[in-house]
Structure 1
Amino acid sequence: MPPQARLLGPADVRRLADELGLRPTKRLGQNFVHDPNTVRRIVAAAAVSGDDVVLEVGPGLGSLTLALLPCCRSVVAVEVDRVLAGRLPRTVAEYAPGTADRLRVVPADAMRVRAGDLTAGGPAPTALVANLPYNVAVPVVLHLLEEVPTLARGLVMVQSEVADRMAAGPGSRVYGVPSAKLAWYAEARRAGPVPRAVFWPVPNVDSALVALTRRPPPSAAPRAEVFAVVDAAFAQRRKTLRAALAGWAGSAERAGRLLAAAGVDPATRGEQLGIADFARIAEAAVRV
């Protein structure tokens, strides 16, 4: 039987916040989940197993951490707030003492953390499960998927509109740079809504879960070069690709040649292309 954890309810969250003198800040995107059923649902949807090393970003007061620890091998929690990072091990010891040895806290910015920081003294993370700060959700996911190739899957909670963009496919109204770049690393799909009422303080936006499944890159082209094509294509999304890629290619004429070599209609727009199409354009730039 896995060790049991007592989860944080609204009174627990407020007590811990008061103890720490915590005033949640928009700058750090701090909205803390205080509903045990919600964190149980997240852990179930993440389908973590006893073999998984879970990477959690922004554990905050520990609501999700406490639900994860009994279900996995260990949790590596990355927390930029030094006060919260210092309190988390004690919270786990109080609420889930049988799992305290499964937690490792890394006091760091998830946008700058390196694989070595996450693997020091333990195995590499295999799953990302996190309630991500709304203002940096996509950059954090992209950074971690690039930096930690052992991450095979993930489940992240983000702003609902961001979830739509992360999971969008070519041709969708909300398909754009986040959609295309994320597709380089993983398949993304919406995995359900999260109501505002489960957070403290209550955010003024809706939230949703996004499930990620790692897949191989669609091309051997350097990622940075492919992403440069994506950025150029969507910088002026109303323009045809021939015009939008002119600056990147050096001229509209060369952009047309590269698109033709990649088998892409120069009159189409970036929102119609999948990540494999962008990769073929990057590959063509080497040949043409």
Structure 2
Amino acid sequence: MKLIRTLAEWNPLWLNHLQNKQQIGLVPTMGALHEGHLDLVRASKRQADLTVVSIFVNPTQFNNPEDFAKYPSTLDADLEKLDREGVDYVFVPEVSEMYPRPTELKFDFGDLERVLEGKFRPGHFNGVGVVVSKLFHIIKPQVAFFGQKDLQQVAIVRRLVSDLSIDLKLEIVPTRREPNGLAMSSRNARLNPEEKEKALILYRSLIHAKSRLEQGDSWNDIQQAVAQVFREEPSAELEYFELVDPETFQVYSEFDKTQKTSICVASYLGDIRLIDNLVIVF
């Protein structure tokens, strides 16, 4: 496994792999790696000739400076995990490498970024769009791997690739969960055991809602019931619990089993923000 920190280091390596007609798989991450990230790595190892993992905590996608400052950093442990998985390259750039000067480029993903995560994290998806574009242009992969847990981010990246005619394939890997159902997330590292147990309110609410939808209950009644459950948990603060099209993120007021549908939830647990989703019809 080789550590790469600059575009100048990567370019001759990429050119050599291009000449050898080797397919490159990219797994973009912000580090603090868990089994969910490693699922992406394993998918890349199965499909591509070479796997590149990027580790970069992108400052431009944090609308909350405190969240950026507290984001977990475990680079040494991350590199050990990736080495065990047989990753070929790890791209770990400095901020100055990715942003030699402050970027003035702005992405507008339309309605896709004005609901749910876009609404509650203004500017977040512009930062995602910029950094993902940079990574695609620097690494030049033929295939890139993203996790279903960040479902709206997946939709943003799909739009980016489509609208800019970027020549690569996107592979979406299912959410990896703890045995109790909690979606794996780098932010879970900030939760103590009691908070991790309370964080199950997200997953349990998704499962409860899916079951009631399948029984024919109205979405409005389900939303109200879930909101009440969150109000009764003092440590949890619900931001949204919505039924959406997983590609356009159109918010549905009613459930239609003939339409692509996912339930998405975001909540604070103390000062830690968690998200999750569950596919109902796809």
TM above 0.5, yes or no, is no
Higher relative contact order (CA 8 A, sep 6+): 2
Q: TM-score, normalised by structure 2?
A: 0.31
Structure having the higher strand fraction is 2
Larger radius of gyration: 1
Q: TM-score, normalised by structure 1?
A: 0.31
